[in-house]
Amino acid sequence: MRMMKALVHEKAGRPNAGIKLVPYPSCKDDEVIIKIMACGICKWAEINHDTVGGGGSLAKYPVITGHEFAGIVEEVGKNVIDLKPGDRVTADNAVPCGECWYCKNGKPLFCEHFGSHGHNRNGGFAQYMNIAARNIVKIPDNLSFDEASIAEPVACAVEALDRADIRSGEEVIVSGMGPHGLILAQLCHFSNAQHCAAIGLVESRLKTLKSYGLTTVLAQRNDPSVHEAVLGKMFPNGVDCIIDTSGAWPMVQSLMKFLRKGGRFVQYGSYHAQIQMDNPAKFLNDLHFNNQKYIGVSCQVNNFPRAIEYMKSGKCNVSSLVTHTFDLDDYFLALDTNKTDKSALKVIIHPNGDIEA
């Protein structure tokens, strides 16, 4: 029997996971097999899988994790018409059920039985994976596999951009300059907004954005009055929309004073285990009295084609996001690097070595 290497989680938690030899997947009629050339670590999702008792609401074990992948078509099922072996591809990891109330009402994003490769279906930390052909998106020649594997976070950012509904001439702040903020700041810069400022703690990341023509503001964790003075000058009448990817509640508190009446607050980062909303009712009351809108965005479906177009055009440049690459055998070292190395943005696994990556 043909075998392959994969990161298998029997259940959540590192003691229950390991790199194993497992059978090469079989290709159903409507599926393709991808030879995975790059699979990115989505930090919080993979830490969740790595935590005993963790996994998150989507997880179902045993599973091969990894939901940000790109590679080469190895095999196509007999009903597949538009793909052939050798095609360079990425794929939407989302698999809405098609049967629940939300799916039947054209809202697959809110599917009650949301399938997701890397959470409850096998994902990309493996040499090969099978996936429905309808999920596949071809990648242009000017994107490497590493870059193309970042299509998933870009697709999620596209969802946030849609839901933020930025109108012509608006002013916007994007906060938190991890991978998601760096992506969203670029999307907002090229949106209808007439001015978007990216605020974050790491100077080198802001420098990269500046080189793309974006306005940046250095955040001061210990003395927010410093960045507040800068923002106050930049936006004397406040902004129409704040998109927060920081996951840092003190940052949100610092920024909310710049949200205009009638403005929109988009929560894109989760406030992991540190929700210090000493008075959540006050936050809601402030939204209420200022006639502001709260918008929660946590995932996407069907945005991959647009994500790839943004990346292809360079309007969303993800090349600087790739900070580390590792072999599949070194998965746990890669995850620990992602957790502890402050320079890490996207840490990417190469299950089939470095060729063509």
Q: 178 or 263, CB closer to Zn ion? A: 178
C-alpha pair distances (Å), 293 with each of 157, 170, 266, 288: 19, 15, 8, 8
Helix (H) or strand (E) holding 146: helix 145-148
Name the strands in the sheet holding 215-218, side by side, starting at the edge strand that comes first in the sequence.
Answer: 215-218, 195-200, 171-175, 239-244, 259-267, 293-296
CB of residue 44 to Zn ion, shortest distance in Å: 8
Pick from 262, 251, 317: which is nearest to 288 by CA? 262
47 binds Zn ion (CB under 5 A): no
C-alpha pair distances (Å), 310 with each of 37, 153, 289, 313: 21, 12, 37, 5
End-to-end CA distance of the chain: 28
Dig out the tokens for 102 from the structure: 């939300």
CB of residue 163 to Zn ion, shortest distance in Å: 17
Pattern 25-44, Zn ion, x by CB under 5 A: -----------------x--
Q: 122 or 292, CB closer to Zn ion? A: 122
SS3 125: coil
Q: 69 or 265, CB closer to Zn ion? A: 69
CB of residue 179 to Zn ion, shortest distance in Å: 9
CB of residue 115 to Zn ion, shortest distance in Å: 9
Beta strands in 108-176 (DSSP E): 115-116, 128-132, 136-138, 171-175
Buried b (16+ CB within 10 A) or exposed e, 139-164: beeebbbbbbbbbbbbbbbbbbbeeb
CB of residue 68 to Zn ion, shortest distance in Å: 5
Q: 292 or 303, CB closer to Zn ion? A: 303
Q: At what angle do helices 151-164 and 179-189 cross, to 10 degrees?
A: 50
CB of residue 307 to Zn ion, shortest distance in Å: 12
* Inter-residue contact 310 to 182 (CB < 8 Å): no
Q: 74 or 152, CB closer to Zn ion? A: 152
| Residues 106 to 145 in contact with Zn ion, rule: CB under 5 A | 111
Pattern 222-251, Zn ion, x by CB under 5 A: ------------------------------
Q: 42 or 311, CB closer to Zn ion? A: 42
CB of residue 46 to Zn ion, shortest distance in Å: 9
CB of residue 312 to Zn ion, shortest distance in Å: 20
Neighbouring CB atoms inside 10 A of 348's CB total 27
Q: 71 or 96, CB closer to Zn ion? A: 96
In whole angstroms, what is the distance from residue 57 CA to residue 338 CA? 22
Q: 115 or 238, CB closer to Zn ion? A: 115
Pattern 146-185, Zn ion, x by CB under 5 A: ------x---------------------------------
| Residues 71 to 110 in contact with Zn ion, rule: CB under 5 A | 96-97, 100, 103
Residue pointed to by tokens 């193309």 = 148
The footprint of Zn ion on this chain (CB under 5 A) covers a number of residues equal to: 7
Residues of this chain that bind Zn ion (CB under 5 A): 42, 96-97, 100, 103, 111, 152
